[in-house]
Structure 1
Amino acid sequence: MNAALAHVAPAASGKATDEAANPVTLSIDGCDVTVERGASVLAACTAAGVDTPTICWAPNLTAANACRLCVVELEGSRTLVPACSRPAEADMRICTDSERVRHSRRMVLEFLGSANDLSQAPEIAAWSQHYGADPSRYPSALANQSCADAATTAPAPEDATDNGHELGPRRVEEPVRVQDDLYIRAYDRCVLCYKCVEACGDDAQHTFAIAVAGRGFDARIRTEYDTELPQSACVYCGNCVAVCPTGALQFRTEFDLRAAGEWRPDEQTVTTTVCSYCGVGCNLELHVQDERIVKVTSPADHSVTSGHLCIKGRFGWQYVHAPALDLSAAPSTDR
């Protein structure tokens, strides 16, 4: 059985049954692939063994269709199409590695790298290397000039400014927001992938505590009226932190360890257990470093959680490291 069909859960409705019973066959890079009707082009690429770069897609979230990194070339289509949200159709002919596709992906990665700190996004760094993305190639002297001007105007000096702003690609520069002991927000790393918004909304928590505010380059993920987290609608489930691909949302423990130069993920062990707070049966992945829990996640493919937890499962593990009882301070039992 095709891999894309084998992992599909049992149909929950007559419509789903019809879709599963009527798969579609399409061509991915010259190879025929069969997937169930309604599956995405991305699922078809995966079934064909094609590793497709994504930022805004996750298996436990609705495709946000925001990053445009997964675009592929569809025969007969005027534009490149996003693989994560485009349904697979019979007789499609898809090319995933044409020069047009590579150029588009390289440009997306360069734009993100020119504006954001991606130093804590290893997957994006790997894709950038794969496609030869070089954000530094944008010459600062030619920024804010038209192509015609650039062809005739001598490069501006390195300290040139335009209305008080340095020429060149703008970068997101905001101080890290540390408002509690659970997680931090670093907007200079945020690439507006919308994953956190989806996790806070219909896909998981249904809290709707965050959304996109602002326009253009000034767009940010904000709470209502940019209220500080403790006063906002946030319930501290941490599901937004779990899906963030760049470290823009980060566990406070990880943030503090990184600041101290003590964050060592290669030395961490991950132990799967069951949350002890209630009877739902959520699976927890305990990330342990130096015999201490440093963060908690949950498997995205777990049938109970789908990777999402509540505040107790995500952050309520401190009792494991309760200080040892000092018996010398205990009251005497002598009579």
Structure 2
Amino acid sequence: MTAIDLQLPRRLVEFTLDETPVRVPEGSTILDACKAAGKDIPTLCHGDTLTPKNACRLCVVEVEGARALAPACSRVAEPGMAVRTDTERARHSRKIVLELLASSTDLSTTPRAADWIKEYEAKPDRFGPDAARVNEQPKIDNELYVRDLDKCILCYKCVDACGEQWQNTFAISVSGRGFDARISVENDGPLTESACVYCGNCIEVCPTGALSFKSEFDMRAAGTWDEPAQTATTTVCAYCGVGCNLTLHVQDNEIVKVTSPHDNPVTHGNLCIKGRFGYQHVQQR
């Protein structure tokens, strides 16, 4: 049976995007309009299942008449506005953001980061070897997932996914201020002694690999992680009757991690501990 969208129709908003007239449904953001128009706007903190936090400022665009650059991920499109996405001012701002992030954070597992650094001619090394870094070893205190704070850009997506936007567990938050700010559980203790329920929804939204499956972390360390060689098959979780969709990522005939489609009306990308991590019985010999 085909699902029918029963939402009320929305009026269209017309404005110009890089001097081209566009029309988007009322309430759409500039980033939504850019995606619909096929424009590639870099962003890290934006999540398609989360309310924008405007944390990374990588998606900024220029809005005619506005004093400051606007974050495309949260700025709602308005009738008659004129938006330019590729001005010298916007590109320079993105370049600086990339330089600051890459000089203080390990972006080696951040999708497309290297391409953006090359595209915007960012030079993170110009800040020197003393740029602030966490310089901590990855936290491996359980068998399900790893926390690597050297890769964290403080985008708050994991905090929102664990908090009021999805899981409502509130196991993780931001502690400290300035250069000492970091994602942490209560009392900065082991994950096993926290309120974490190991749903892994924080991993699902993490844009940099600061949170990763233990299986992926181990394979990367061993040099065997080969994402292009992996296949992804979507199926239905068999643990209960909710009907959550699982996407099984398989390499060399072994399940290496499990995700969930973000556009699924049941899960919206979220799973429980059984759905995300309880797949070992499938491949036991």
TM-score w.r.t. the length of structure 2 is 0.95
In structure 2, C-alpha distance between the alignment counterparts of 1:322 and 1:169, rounded to whole Å = 46
From 177, 181, 185, the equivalent of 2:147 is 185
Percent of aligned pairs sharing the same letter: 57
Match of 2:190 in 1: 228
Spell out, residue by residue over 1:129-188, the C-alpha distance to the aligned partner (whole angstroms, 9 max, x if none).
Answer: 2111110123x3xxxxxxxxxxxxxxxxxxxxxxxxxx7322221111000000000000
Listed as ranges, the gaps of 5+ residues in structure 2 are none
Match of 2:66 in 1: 77
Is 1:107 the counterpart of 2:93 in the alignment? no
Match of 1:128 in 2: 117
Match of 1:317 in 2: 279
Is 1:50 the counterpart of 2:33 in the alignment? no
Query: Shift of the alpha carbon at 1:127?
Result: 1.4
From 188, 211, 214, the equivalent of 2:176 is 214
Q: Does the 8 Å CA contact 1:253/1:295 hold for their aligned counterparts?
A: yes
Query: Shift of the alpha carbon at 1:260?
Result: 1.0
In structure 2, C-alpha distance between the alignment counterparts of 1:21 and 1:208, rounded to whole Å = 34
User: Matches of residues 264-303 of structure 1 in structure 2 within 5 Å?
Assistant: 264-303=226-265
In structure 1, C-alpha distance between the alignment counterparts of 2:255 and 2:32, rounded to whole Å = 35
In structure 2, C-alpha distance between the alignment counterparts of 1:248 and 1:241, rounded to whole Å = 8
From 131, 139, 156, the equivalent of 1:169 is 131
Listed as ranges, the gaps of 5+ residues in structure 1 are 1-7, 12-16, 141-166, 324-335
In structure 2, C-alpha distance between the alignment counterparts of 1:300 and 1:60, rounded to whole Å = 7
> Secondary structure, in 3 states, of the residue corresponding to 1:107?
helix
What is the aligned length? 282
In structure 1, C-alpha distance between the alignment counterparts of 2:111 and 2:166, rounded to whole Å = 26
Query: Shift of the alpha carbon at 1:211?
Result: 0.9
- Pairwise CA RMSD: 1.4
Query: Shift of the alpha carbon at 1:9?
Result: 5.1
From 80, 93, 97, the equivalent of 1:91 is 80
Is 1:240 the counterpart of 2:202 in the alignment? yes
Q: Does the 8 Å CA contact 1:284/1:296 hold for their aligned counterparts?
A: yes
Match of 2:21 in 1: 32
In structure 2, C-alpha distance between the alignment counterparts of 1:47 and 1:227, rounded to whole Å = 44
Q: What letter matches 1:183 in structure 2?
A: Y
Q: Does the 8 Å CA contact 1:23/1:37 hold for their aligned counterparts?
A: yes
From 20, 40, 48, the equivalent of 1:59 is 48
In structure 2, C-alpha distance between the alignment counterparts of 1:288 and 1:43, rounded to whole Å = 31
> Secondary structure, in 3 states, of the residue corresponding to 1:34?
strand
Provide runs of 4+ in structure 1 moved above 6 Å: none
In structure 1, C-alpha distance between the alignment counterparts of 2:10 and 2:267, rounded to whole Å = 28
In structure 1, C-alpha distance between the alignment counterparts of 2:88 and 2:124, rounded to whole Å = 19
Spell out, residue by residue over 1:173-224, the C-alpha distance to the aligned partner (whole angstroms, 9 max, x if none).
Answer: 1111000000000000001111111111122211111111110111101112
Q: What letter matches 2:23 in structure 1?
A: T
> Secondary structure, in 3 states, of the residue corresponding to 1:122?
coil
Query: Shift of the alpha carbon at 1:274?
Result: 0.6
> Secondary structure, in 3 states, of the residue corresponding to 1:67?
coil
Query: Shift of the alpha carbon at 1:250?
Result: 0.6
Spell out, residue by residue over 1:249-292, the C-alpha distance to the aligned partner (whole angstroms, 9 max, x if none).
Answer: 01000111111111111111111111010111111111111111
Spell out, residue by residue over 1:268-322, the C-alpha distance to the aligned partner (whole angstroms, 9 max, x if none).
Answer: 1111111010111111111111111110001111111111111000000011122
TM-score w.r.t. the length of structure 1 is 0.81
Query: Shift of the alpha carbon at 1:64?
Result: 1.3
Query: Shift of the alpha carbon at 1:228?
Result: 1.4
